[in-house]
Structure 1
Amino acid sequence: MKLSQILKPEAIKVIASASSKKRLLQDIGELAQSAYGLDQSLVVEALQERENLGPTGVGHGVALPHARLEGMDQVLGAFIALEKPVDFAAIDRQPVDVIFALFAPENAGVEHLKALALVSRSLRNQALCKKLRSNSDPATLYAILTSDQDMQAA
């Protein structure tokens, strides 16, 4: 699996700031709807339900919100870069500015886990995150995410 298989160029957005985690989840829902035609309210609800189980802020300014949704046939992703970090209740208590959301079919087992592992492994790379944080053009961000960072998932 490669990031280019789960992420479309249209699913990348740079946002100046989000007023809250809740607003950021709304932004993710809007992006999922515009890029993939997913139902915004269902996406937001599913992401919020997952966040209620435990925050998906993994540390170092990175969050990986994810949810399973009815009616999907493959894992899809959306990327948001925030110019101003937002509190996401991350495990290291640092605000987040790099967000990669994943949406998986309700019955996706291994594929969802492979995608989550791939994104997590990719965004643990501090050099990659530095490149992402220093660019604000969605096309450039897509190129950075899908270029030499494409790795095989375990």
Structure 2
Amino acid sequence: MDLTSILKPEAVKVFSAASSKKRLFQEIGDVAHSAYGLDASVTVNALLERENLGPTGVGHGVALPHARMEGLIKVVGAFVMLEKPIDFGAVDRQPVDIAFALFAPEDAGVEHLKALALVSRTLREPSLCSKLRANLDATTLYALLSEAQSVQAA
């Protein structure tokens, strides 16, 4: 599994402002709808339900919201860069400006965990996060994520 198998170029977006976590999830729902045909409101509700179990802000300005959803046949993702960071209840209390959302089939089990581990490992690299934050063009962001994954695999 690599990032390009779960992330389409059209599922990478930059938002100038999201005033809250809920608003960010609405934006992610719209991205998931346009890129994968997922129902935006079902997507938002699934993310909010998971977030109610505990914040998915992993620290250093990064969040990995995720949810299991009915009707999916494989794990898919959406990458969102925020120009203005928002409070996410992250473990280190830093606001979030990088969010990589994952959506998995309800019975995905190991596949879901592998995808979470892959994204977490990739976004744990400070140099990659610096490059992502320095580029607010979706095409460039996708290229950086794809490149980072191929470098890790080598």
Q: Same fold (TM over 0.5)?
A: yes
Give deviations 1:74-126, integer Å, cap 9, x for gaps. Answer: 00000000000000111111100000000000000011000000000000000
1:98 aligns with: 98
Once residues 22 and 3 of structure 2 are traced to their aligned partners in structure 1, the CA distance between those partners, rounded to angstroms, is 26
**Superposition pairs of residues 99-114 of structure 1, within 5 angstroms:** 99-114=99-114
TM-score normalised by the chain length of structure 2: 0.97
The match for 2:135 is 135
Q: What pairs up with 1:27-46 in 2 under 5 angstroms?
A: 27-46=27-46
**CA shift in 2, pair 1:148/1:57, >3 Å:** closer
Q: What TM-score do the two structures reach when normalised by structure 1?
A: 0.97
The one-letter amino acid of 1:90's match is A
Identity rate, percent: 70
Coordinate RMSD, CA, aligned? 0.8
Question: Aligned ranges for residues 52-91 of structure 1 at < 5 Å?
Answer: 52-91=52-91
Measured in 1, the distance between the counterparts of 2:83 and 2:55 equals 21
Q: Distance in 1 between matches of 2:140 and 2:94?
A: 26
- Count of equivalent residues: 152
Counterpart of 1:146 in structure 2 is 146
Alignment-mate amino acid for residue 77 of structure 2 = G
Structure 1: give runs of 5+ residues left out of the alignment. Answer: none
Deviations 1:52-71 (A, max 9, x none): 00000000000000000000
- Between Structure 1 and Structure 2, the one with more helix by share is 2
Gaps of 5+ in 2: none
User: Structure 1 segments of 4 or more deviating over 6 A?
Assistant: none
